Amino acid sequence: MQAWKIDESGWCDGAVRYDSPYYDARPEGMEIDLLVIHNISLPGGHFGGPHVSDLFTGRLDYNADPSFADLRGLQVSAHFLVRRDGALVQYVSTDQRAWHAGTSTFEGRPQCNAYSIGIEMEGSDFQPFQPEQYRVLVALTAALAQRYGLAQVRGHEHIAPGRKTDPGPFFDWALYQESWRQALRGQPALVLTTRALGFPSSA
């Protein structure tokens, strides 16, 4: 498994960096213990273009596609994007609160942005993700688990039910969980330095 590291400033040394303005400080003393998985494509179902990064960095040309009209004025960014080919992009330091989850609740705690890290998988609700995306996601999960006290991983659909459906029915939670278990077996130091990571009950 590829080994990455989150540095003291919250940036991943294996990611391409595009700074987003859509973040603020986490509440003082807030523990970062939740990982949230999303999916995104702009336009919907189209992959590989610049539009996701443009949206997350406030540069989106709303006239480039009719569907972008609904995004006008939206201020949103995840911490990371995992592209279809496995390329990793980071927009916000993981020490900061990225604006990725919106109105959300986890285990009775509202405002998930305050204590979570958001990862976007380039994809949609209507087709499978790529094997390389899962490999990168697991490697990134390991880096984040070593840097923070991650305890749980959920989809956007789990923390905003009825409002969001991502990462969608084609995201393979069972594969992600089993790949994580294999990573733990392959790197015993991970077991010693991280918590047990909880997955959705359907995984």
Dist CA 180 CA 46 (whole Å): 28
Residue tagged 């380039």 (tokens):
122
Dist CA 45 CA 1 (whole Å): 29
Which one is catalytic: 8, 120, 132, 178? 120
Dist CA 33 CA 103 (whole Å): 18
In DSSP terms, 35 is beta-bridged to: 117, 153
Phi (first) and psi of residue 91, to 5 degrees: -115, -30
Largest Cα separation within the chain, whole Å, is: 51
Which class for 144: exposed (0-12), middle (13-18), buried (19 or more C-beta within 10 A)?
A: buried
Task: Dig out the tokens for 170 from the structure.
Answer: 């084609």
Q: Is 157 a catalytic residue?
A: no
Residues identified as active-site:
120
